[in-house]
Amino acid sequence: MTKWSLHLSCLAAAILVVGSLSAATAQAPVAQTEPALANLGTRKGGVDWPIFLGPTQDSKSPEKGIITKWTAASPRIVWQRPLGTGYGAPTISQGRLFQFDRFSDQARIYSLNAETGKELWHYDYPTDYSDYFGYNNGPRCSPVVDGNRVYAYGAEGVLTCLAADTGKLIWQVNTQKDFGVVQNFFGVGSTPVVEGDLLLVMVGGSPDWAQTLGALKLDRVEGNGSAIVAFDKFTGKVRYKVSDELASYASLKLATINGRRWCLAFCRGGLLGLEPKTGKVDFNYPWRAKILESVNASMPVVVGDEVFISETYGPGSSLLKVSPGASEVVWKDDDRRRAKAMMTHWNTPVYHEGYLYGSSGRHTENAELRCIEWKTGKVMWSEPGLTRSSLLYVDGHFICQAEYGQLIVLKANPEKYEPVSEIELKQQAAAGPALPGSKLPAAAPGELLKYPCWAAPVLSHGLLYVRGDDQLVCLELIPEKD
């Protein structure tokens, strides 16, 4: 949601030309025997969170021993830091936090010490991306860490590979220019994934004539075979490209199903299933609202050989059983009925022990936190009034972050909504130094997480990272044992 987080009401499409970058900028390729990324972390337990929605791409953490009774002083704030413009969640690898924001007319990929918030390096490139409907102009995607490389995919379509230890540029590609991408409403919002030596990216380019259509014509735009592009992760060279689908905001999902690897791409027109090594397409399942002003933004959820998809503008949800060359509908929401099992917006629902939990609803005022039965779509419970929210599962509980900054701890209970704690983080001290080039002041006393809080929470080595509009806050959710 990506892994991408955006409130979508009225939409349009426009051509974006990024003239300040060449079609492909490259330095010498990284040797495939590159040294490992040194570990800066000191905390003993836990796991890294190197990709969007965590190491298993499902917003679930294997860590144990969380604090469940939250107060003003517990869990303690380890550090906090002002952010630039953007919506993306951070990623964590080897004691390093990677963040992607915008400062003025510069897109900035930067690395912090994950335990202290101290900056290690930053890399800037120029961007002129402009949102036509007043939402912010920053990145929507999370950085992706693979070994000693970090990848970032900008709202304007610039794809960048940096050395994770130093921030040195390895290669860079302008996908908008190279593949003829017509700006898809709110820019780029699908976080890429790494599979073997490939970086798989949802691009969704179009032929030259589509560049002349102008805004509000996305229904007339056609694809040019670049829905999914596989780049050599070391050099940025194109290895293959497939499908005429246009891009969406749903991040790519990798999975192993019955011993075979899959890439599942919830594109603008529906779900695309393919073999990631070769790009061979197994199926294309149409699933999107009939109205022009709609998008697919929630990442597919995979359990066994079944795949769940959901959107919030019309058809709702569907569960598929997939196999090489085919997909079979297990259940789907009735298009003739107003009530749907689940209608996710940007958030990706979380599966746990036969049930799926997630925020259902397009708007702040009508969004509900829901639990549905995986096999049937039966609604087990709905809790209104929580606004649109994102979930992180850990240690038998969910951490729920609502879009106005409230943090709620609730038990994973399919029988009822069972909150344990609820808190709004308050400013306790100066927010710390601004990043170089930032004009953001330290936050004033009062609320610490300001609307829109659209990035899903991140947990790594006992530390919980949550972001609001202009602040990133690190909390100690699992205290270190002596």
Asked, for residue 275, whether it belongs to a domain, the answer is yes
Q: Which tens digit of pLDDT belongs to each residue from 225-242?
A: 999 999 999 999 999 999
Bridge partners of 306? Answer: 303, 321
Asked, for residue 481, whether it belongs to a domain, the answer is no
Q: Which tens digit of pLDDT belongs to each residue from 392-433?
A: 999 999 999 999 999 999 999 999 999 999 999 987 654 444
φ/ψ region of 165 (left if φ > 0, alpha if ψ in -120 to 50, else beta) reads: alpha
Bridge partners of 455? Answer: none
Asked, for residue 163, whether it belongs to a domain, the answer is yes
What would the two tokens of residue 89 be?
């969640």
Q: Is the peptide bond before 479 cis (omega within 30 degrees of 0)?
A: no
The pLDDT value given to residue 124: 98
Asked, for residue 10, whether it belongs to a domain, the answer is no
Provide the 8-state DSSP code for 135. S
Instruction: Locate the DSSP E strands across 13-74.
Output: 24-26, 60-61
Q: What is the pLDDT along the chain (482 residues), one digit of tens a residue?
A: 443 433 333 333 333 333 333 334 344 444 467 789 999 999 999 999 999 999 999 999 999 999 999 998 999 999 999 999 999 999 999 999 999 999 999 999 999 999 999 999 999 999 999 987 778 999 999 999 999 999 999 999 999 999 999 999 999 999 999 999 998 888 999 999 999 999 999 999 999 999 888 777 888 999 999 999 999 999 999 999 999 999 999 999 999 999 999 999 999 999 999 999 999 999 999 999 999 989 999 999 999 999 999 999 999 999 999 999 999 999 999 988 989 999 999 999 999 999 999 999 999 999 999 999 999 999 999 999 999 999 999 999 999 999 999 999 999 999 999 999 999 998 765 444 444 443 334 444 578 999 999 999 999 999 999 999 999 999 999 999 87
Domain around 73: 24-32+39-476
What would the two tokens of residue 65 be?
């021993």
Asked, for residue 344, whether it belongs to a domain, the answer is yes
Burial environment of residue 271 by CB neighbours within 10 A (0 to 12, 13 to 18, 19 or more): buried
Domain count, the chain: 1
What would the two tokens of residue 342 be?
């689940």
Asked, for residue 172, whether it belongs to a domain, the answer is yes
* List of residues 6+ apart from 326 with CB closer than 8 A: 282, 283
Asked, for residue 442, whether it belongs to a domain, the answer is yes
CA 447 remoteness from chain centre: 25
| Residues 47, 119: Cα–Cα separation, whole Å | 21
CA distances (Å), 98 to each of 112, 242, 265, 432, in order? 6, 30, 24, 18
Burial environment of residue 446 by CB neighbours within 10 A (0 to 12, 13 to 18, 19 or more): exposed
Domain at 428, CATH number:
2.130.10.10
Give pTM, 2 decimals: 0.90
Asked, for residue 222, whether it belongs to a domain, the answer is yes
CB atoms within 10 A of CB 353: 7
DSSP H or E run through 1 = none
The backbone torsions φ and ψ at residue 220, rounded to the nearest 5 degrees and listed phi first, read -100, -5
